[in-house]
Structure 1
Amino acid sequence: MEENLEREVDIREYWHVIKKRRWTIYTVVIILVITVTIGSFITKPTYKATATLQIERENPRVLSFEEIFAIDASQQDFYQTQYKLMQSRSLARRVIKKLNLTSHPEFSSASKVGILGRIRNIFRRDKGEQAEELADPYTNIINTFLKNLEVEPIRNSRLAEISFISHNPRLSADLINAVAEGFIEVNLEAKYYASREAYDFLSKQIEELKKEIAVKEEEMQLYAGQKGIIALEGDENIIISKLADLNAEYTRAQMERIAKESYYNQMKNASPDSIPEVLRNPVIQDLKREYARLEREYAQKSKSFKADWPEMVRLKSEFDNTKQRLDKEVNDIVTKVSKSAESEYEAALARERALKEMLDKQKNEAIELHRNSILYTTLKTEVENKRKLLDSLMKRGGEAGVSAELRDFGTSNIRIVDRAETPQTAYRPRKKMNIMLSIIVGLMLGTGLAFFFEYLDSSLKNKEDVERYLNLPTIAIIPSLDGLKTSKAYRYGYNSYYGDENSEKLPQSIEKIAQTNPMSSISESYRSMRTSLLLSSPESPPQIVLITSSQPSEGKTVTAVNLAITLTHLDKRVLLLEADLRKSKLATIFNINKDPGLTNFLTQDIEAVTIIKRTDIPNLFVTPSGQLPPNPSELLSSSKFDTLLEACRGSFDHIVVDSPPLLAFTDAQLLATKVDRVILVVKGAETPRESVMLGKEKLNDAKIAGVVLNDLDIIEHHHYYRHYYYYGKKYQDKTKQAGNRTL
């Protein structure tokens, strides 16, 4: 399965993609530049005239009083409204009629609806709208007019630029000036009509309000006569004042009655000695002192004399008389005080009751007056409010009347700062800018398309792709012979022997290039593969090597041949075994008979030595496939084939097995279990990686030495290889005489 790994950003890789797909970018740029250039030169030029307006905010004065209407003071809404009014259809119609644009060539064609326009209208509008458009000859002209009208506010200012685009420079200036003047006229007319409508409205409201006031005053007077109300405010003040006085007096009477009642109850239950009047009476005080003196004297003499002693009798009689007089005096005072407290209490109670009756009467009178005054006050307030409103309306009505009469002397809050002048240069098309933009857009579009094509390319193009998607090492990258033939610079860089003077010596085929051109860069790549293969096993070099691929025509047979040749250069006996029993090629490459071959050995009773054939290359032996059998898989999985491999192990140092493709047949999958190492050949920048990954999955149990990227155009994909140079033609001749070997 494909691993989801993030690719490290490499600017050089992006540059390589751009160089690789440069013709896609060139094509897009050229097509776009030519198209834009032709369009810019054949397009009829248009001219843009611009005028500048100053728009001051002005609240309407007619109905600005807050008690009637609330005015929206949002500045942003005001200016946005003005900009939309400049682009209104009514203003456009006004200007069109003023300048008689219906007869102008630039607009007369807009009033005619063609066949395509009629068809679009059928699907775009209902019948009512179609009829209205046909009935109004200005509809299409207004649409064209507004399409070419632009309004652009200037930031952080009260200025706005209005522009018109036309094929006629003089017409564009006249039109935009007419729009500016018409907008000011519309603004003034709106103010006039607003003032006139306000004046008429206010006049009507004033008359109605006068009638309402008269009715309410008559109703208020009638009600006052029925209820006997003369001066409501004075009556209300007297009654309220009397009510307050009575309430205060009643409160004081209550307090006084409570005090008298408390004092009266206290006198009834109090002892004589606690009554203040008794304590303050001088006679009682004298009698108490006399009583106390006699009591002391009697007590003192009673110690010396008996009770019947005349002096004691006299003292006793005087003592009793004093006691009687004291009791009588105390009783008289207590009786007098009690009667006085009772009379005062009764008087306070009677006063409280009288005030309570007066207070209740006054309350009823106040309630009745208040009940009668509610409607009267309501009528009076309503009349006063209507009078105030009438005064305001009459004042505003006068102002509105004056404003309406001053129509010809009105001033607008909009003025023209700069009138439009006839443009001297065309606004569109901007040929230089269009061409420059077409180049930039073409480069961007072409680059994007190039990367898109690169994204769709799922082939393996370098060793990083092999490691990323297959998790296998790349043991060799075999350059494309066609790529070397198309570039002298690369040809010379990879092998100085292939200079300009010897360019005819480039091989026409790479089937045995390791033998025919051992010092070429392609041969060096095969030797690199040989070295990587021999070092792939830490114990000992692999003896039997299987060469396979995921799809046909990826160069596995050529790879097997050249690998076998490079192994012979190490003075090793090498057997090239053609196990591809479905397509025989080795017999043709080495110009030998294919019979008897591997098929003959596996199906007949012959010796193995009869199918091993010597070639013109020293130490290289080939076993061709022989006749193509109907059951190759059964033959390759037979024990006789295993016996052949074991026999060859003892006779040869290395055995290179050429097998069928992995995805087409199961032969290679069977052979992979019988060999020491497997080399997977991939045609660079062509074979889809999905096919290679699927082929790798079929080799799960095999020991894969690595991947060979075959037939890769190194000029296009910018891979860097080891340069292998000759040191002169003399050295080349000596190496040829030595059998074209490299040690």
Structure 2
Amino acid sequence: MTQYELDFNDYWRIIKKKRLIVILTAFMLTFFSLIFSILNKPTPVYQTSASLQIERSTSLTGLYMQSISWNYGDDLATRAAVIKSYSMIEKAAKSLGIIDSNMTSSEIKEDQSSVSAIERLKSRVTTEQEGFTNIINIKVKDYDPILTKDLANALAKIYQQENFKQKNAQIQNSLKSLKLQLDNAEKEYRNDLLRLQEYRKVHRFITIPEKSNRISVKLTENEENLEKIKSDIKQIDKILLRLQNNPDYLRFISLDLILNHQNVVLNGLQSQIDKIENQIIELSQYFTNEHPNIKTLIHQKKQTINNIISELKAFKNSLQELRLKDQQKWNSLNKDYESLPLQSIEIQNLEQEVETSRNIYQQLKINYLQSIVKQSDVIQEVFIIRPAFTPSSPINSTKIAPTTLAGMIIGIIFGIILA
């Protein structure tokens, strides 16, 4: 049987003949594709972003703060995490009026609706470092384009403010710490100075040469006094010995000239002896020793000599006590004189402590005054370089036209096949 092969003209005649089927099939698939696209149209999601530039502080205080921080890249990653933290989202929600701005953090945590609102906003926010730069992008996705813009800008502004407060609060804390160190250093300096002054006062210490001269003079004076006391004691012993052998010995001496330490009682008794002796001599010119007046005077003379002997013994005892006291004083002075080298070392140590504490105090005072002057140099590290704008189109735009066109093409092909 002979086979007949269809050419293009044959196919075209068939399509023209059954064009109604092709058109109807194409129309139906196009219509269904359009309906399908409309029914499956997604809710539009909008996205926008705000960008923050993180600068290293160039002030002296800022550099000090950063000198104890870790790697700069880690710092940016930490900042990115802080920006989308719960506390930042909470502050942003308050500024946008999503939750009551008068509520405290504790009250918000107890309010389930507020917590849900914050968690919903938090899920809309992502942060990331832009390449290897010092820029952090705050991206917000939401169904509301206005909220998307407002939330991104609010987070950027709030983080800038909070960072400013935190950094400058650190400056204030550093000033307080420095002031405390300054007060302690001043107290230590004054205590060291007081100890030095007390040591000088107790030891009557001005300088080594001055104290050495002063002690040397006192030692010399004390030694002279001791020699005078010893001499008087020897003279008293000699007088007592001679009075035992010759009661008239007092007629040939003068106690006020022999003794270095004057005794008013002895001088008075010797004057009394001289007076009695003169009276006896005067009466002896007219009477014998048996005369009652002469006997009375002789008796008075003996009694006065006995009083002189008793007074000499008492005076000797007082001189011995005085010698003991002066000897103790001499021992003390000599001990002080011998301890001068040790005192010199001690006072040098005290002076060194005063000098060290004074230097520390002065340096801290200079640092504190410089910090007060530089307090006006506030630290601003965060700058908003790109604010967020209201997105004009969603990121998940619907594809109604392409889907409908694809349905129409498929309908035409399927209609041709059916024809």
Q: TM-score range by the shorter chain?
A: 0.3 to 0.5
**TM-score (ref. length: structure 1):** 0.28
Question: Highest relative contact order (Cα 8 Å, sep 6+), 1 or 2?
Answer: 2
Q: Which has the larger share of helix?
A: 2
Q: Larger C-alpha radius of gyration, 1 or 2? A: 1
